[in-house]
């Protein structure tokens, strides 16, 4: 008998627990033909704001040891264009679409976006991006909502009242105690947690004596942050009762299994997509082979299985 890879995130049922991270898969159309998109557990869209956003000036990315820095700055076409031009394609693959959202200017933007998406059947869930580290001027990055438990709870409550869809809150690693923020999101009504977002970092061109990123500070992703992500998933799993979507430097199925053992219900592949568009599909196959080899009937048997 084939092992079951199905999991539940809130009210959202996934055929398998491997997603693609917001911002690393575009709107799927960019990778169509390179990967069997319909085999993914779900797609998480690039973060959408109410109005179009140009994002940060170039240079926006640079390679670092075992990772990369990015400072895209939430570039997106805005909610109206997303619903009209991007969502139909995302929905055509027959797998759940999770829409990542953020507010740029006013608090009520969270509510407006959530209410619009709540009425759209093809939107399976909403992810609250309260943790993007690349918003603000080059001289001063804005404080993140996800760095404050009260503000985190405030936003989650606002959106919770505006939608009946599964609500996922994406947390930041740039905090002292990740469990404090996670508990605040859970108590405010979040159905699940995504962690982690990128780690703040910078890189300098010593020849030019200038930052390699125009915004000076960017978000570090890739294998370099995997130990941080694993530690935080494990800590939150011990503290919270809602499902965790683990992410941060997952490059292969072995990496993914670490996250399940640490307590993740699902995983999301990010930076690996830039190196190998087939990474997520290969991870799904690797997980299934591992379950067969070790006689596990379901992936759920591994969740939180870390022995300490």
Residues with a catalytic annotation lie at 132
Within 10 angstroms of residue 128's Cβ, the number of other Cβ atoms is 29
Yes or no: say if 302 and 265 are a contact pair by the CB < 8 Å rule.
no
Yes or no: say if 270 and 20 are a contact pair by the CB < 8 Å rule.
yes
Within 10 angstroms of residue 81's Cβ, the number of other Cβ atoms is 14
Distance of alpha carbon 288 from the chain centroid: 23
Q: Beta strand 97-101 with 123-129: parallel, antiparallel or unpaired?
A: parallel
Within 10 angstroms of residue 77's Cβ, the number of other Cβ atoms is 18
Peptide bond preceding 71 in cis form (omega within 30 of 0): no
Packing angle of the helix pair 178-188, 226-239 (nearest 10 deg)? 50
């Amino acid at each position: 008998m084939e092992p079951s890879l199905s999991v539940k995130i809130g009210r959202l049922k996934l055929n398998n627990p491997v997603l693609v991270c917001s911002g690393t898969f575009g709107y799927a159309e960019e990778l169509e033909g390179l990967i069997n998109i319909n085999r993914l557990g779900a797609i998480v869209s690039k973060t959408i704001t109410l109005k179009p956003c140009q994002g940060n000036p170039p240079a926006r990315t640079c390679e670092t040891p075992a990772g990369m820095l990015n400072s895209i700055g939430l570039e997106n076409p805005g909610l109206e264009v997303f619903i009209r031009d991007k969502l139909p394609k995302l929905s055509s693959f027959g797998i759940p679409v999770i829409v990542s959202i953020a507010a740029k200017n006013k608090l009520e933007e969270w509510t407006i976006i959530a209410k619009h998406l709540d009425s759209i059947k093809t939107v399976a869930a909403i992810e609250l991006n309260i943790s993007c580290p690349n918003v603000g001027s080059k001289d001063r990055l804005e404080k993140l909502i996800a760095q404050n438990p009260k503000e985190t709870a405030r936003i989650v409550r606002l959106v919770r009242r505006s939608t009946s869809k599964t609500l996922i809150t994406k947390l930041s690693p740039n905090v002292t105690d990740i469990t404090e923020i996670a508990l605040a999101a859970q108590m405010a009504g979040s159905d699940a947690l995504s962690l982690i977002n990128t780690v703040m970092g910078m890189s300098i061109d010593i020849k030019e004596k200038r930052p390699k990123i125009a915004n000076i500070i960017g978000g570090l992703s890739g294998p370099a942050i995997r130990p941080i992500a694993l530690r935080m998933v494990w800590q939150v799993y011990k503290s919270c009762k809602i499902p965790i979507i683990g992410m941060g430097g997952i490059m292969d199925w072995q990496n993914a299994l670490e996250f399940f053992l640490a307590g993740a219900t699902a995983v999301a592949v990010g930076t690996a997509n830039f190196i190998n568009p087939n990474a997520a599909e290969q991870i799904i196959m690797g997980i299934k082979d591992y379950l067969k080899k070790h006689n596990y009937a379901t992936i759920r048997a591994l969740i939180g299985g870390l022995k300490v």
